[in-house]
């Protein structure tokens, strides 16, 4: 199974949706809560090339993006292949 990381905050509705989608697929993931942690947010921005919105999702260290992109990959049938790798 793939290594999945979800960078999130405690009050983000899109984070909840992303985690729910992954959980519904039976995917284990590591959640990195950056609520109120400016250093973690800066590190995330460096890791994503400047993106500062939450959630930010990585599958096998590949930056996927946020919930919209995760959902799009699922609808296109591509998410399962990424998760199986």
Q: What is the DSSP string of the chain?
A: ---EEEEE-TT-HHHHHHHHHHHHTT---EEEE-TT-HHHHHHHHHHHTS---S-EEEETTEEEESHHHHHHHHHTT-HHHHHH-
CATH number at residue 30: 3.40.30.10
Whole-number pLDDT of residue 13: 97
Q: What is the pLDDT of residue 38?
A: 93
Q: Which domain holds residue 30?
A: 4-84
Residue 76 pLDDT:
96
pLDDT at res. 55: 98
- Walking along the chain (85 residues) 10 residues at a time, the average pLDDT comes out as 95 97 96 95 94 95 97 96 90
First-to-last C-alpha distance (Å) of the chain: 6
- pLDDT tens digits for range 37-46: 999 999 999 9
pLDDT at 44: 95
pLDDT at 48: 95
Total structural domains within the chain: 1
């Amino acid at each position: 199974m793939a290594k999945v990381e979800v960078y999130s905050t405690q009050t983000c509705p899109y984070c909840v949706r992303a985690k729910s989608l992954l959980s519904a697929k039976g995917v284990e993931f590591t959640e990195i809560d950056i609520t109120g942690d400016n250093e973690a947010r800066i590190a995330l921005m460096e890791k994503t090339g400047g993106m500062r919105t939450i959630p930010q999702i990585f599958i096998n260290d590949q930056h996927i993006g946020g919930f919209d992109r995760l959902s799009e990959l699922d609808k296109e049938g591509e998410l399962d292949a990424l998760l199986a790798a």
